[in-house]
Amino acid sequence: MSEFLTIGEPMAVLASQDVNKDLADVGHFSRFLAGAELNVAIGIRRLGHSASYVSAVGSDPFGQFILDSIRSSGIDATHINIDSNYWTGFYLKQRVAQGDPQTYYYRKNSAAANYDKANLVNIDLSKTVITHITGIFAALSPQALAATHTLIDNVEKVGGIITFDPNLRPALWKSEAEMISTTNALAKHGTVIMPGIHEGKILMGSDDPEEIADFYLDQSSITQTVVVKLGPDGAYVKQRNQTPFTVSGFRVKEVVDTVGAGDGFAVGIISALLEGKTMHEAVVRACAIGALAVESCGDNDGYPTSNELKRFYQEQDEQIGEGI
């Protein structure tokens, strides 16, 4: 098995080529691969680490596109089921000159939402170092939530590390109360938790980074590190029994698309930890990849290779030296 594993819903995204047009008026789209957890797997693989992805797709053109794309990227697709009874999820994404794009999802009752937890019995986790969980897959359906819990149990049995990103999607939940209680319950199993500052406000009632970190450190002895994402300003980091610190964000030339930045942030932390880096080094990398992500149209097209990441650091050093 791979050193990294995640479970989620893969999707095709039809991204508008027409800037600042409402989705109803767009006439030209480009197709990309998407899905928060898959984005992370792609980023991890791009940095040279082995990655496995657990999911299901329909027996349809989007499903085939996703499988072909995953395999060509080098991600282990052994545990992606093809379920002809359901379709593959997809969504439409607006292209905007500034800000967050409008999105419209077609994912209800998808193949991934009907993933059977019984399939997890065939997955060997003995050599998997980090398993990444988000609140998205758990929100899809009772079956997906059950599969999430089963995977978490299996990881804990072998002593693996779990990283958790709340990745709130209110539209997928029956109520905000259910979203909050379920997401926070899942977070109790995370060794490293990565909430955004606005997610903290929803999940525990405060947008103060230290209060957010303390909430998650206090609710579970499993949790050792909380990294609170501050958007362009960087991240606040608090580790159990250690002095907290803040990492500044990186400047970018142009914000093209903000979708995928948070997943790129997770790529930075997870890949660095797989390489034995310190948490400070990991969060610096997370901020760098998050910055690179917003400069590209696709959800994961901006994620760098190792050489591209080194070049980005060099360019940033030069800009800092020039006072930019």
CATH of the domain at 94: 3.40.1190.20
Residue 214 lies in a domain: yes
Element (H, E) at 122: none
Total domains present in the chain: 1
Residue 136 lies in a domain: yes
> What's the rounded Cα separation, in Å, for the pair 286 and 268?
4
Residue 189 lies in a domain: yes
Residue 95 tokens, joined: 């292209």
Domain that holds residue 47: 4-233
Which residue ranges in the chain fall short of pLDDT 50? 320-324
Per-residue pLDDT at 322 = 42
> What's the rounded Cα separation, in Å, for the pair 71 and 48?
15
Residue 314 tokens, joined: 């060099």
> What's the rounded Cα separation, in Å, for the pair 30 and 32?
7
Cβ contacts of residue 237 below 8 Å, gap of 6+? 213, 225, 226, 227, 228, 244, 245, 246, 247, 279, 280, 283
Residue 277 lies in a domain: no
Residue 180 lies in a domain: yes
Q: Which of 76, 83, 165, 263 is catalytic?
A: 263
Per-residue pLDDT at 316 = 83
> What's the rounded Cα separation, in Å, for the pair 290 and 171?
24
Q: Is 263 a catalytic residue?
A: yes
Residue 75 lies in a domain: yes
Residue 55 lies in a domain: yes
Per-residue pLDDT at 255 = 66
> What's the rounded Cα separation, in Å, for the pair 269 and 289?
10
Residue 306 lies in a domain: no
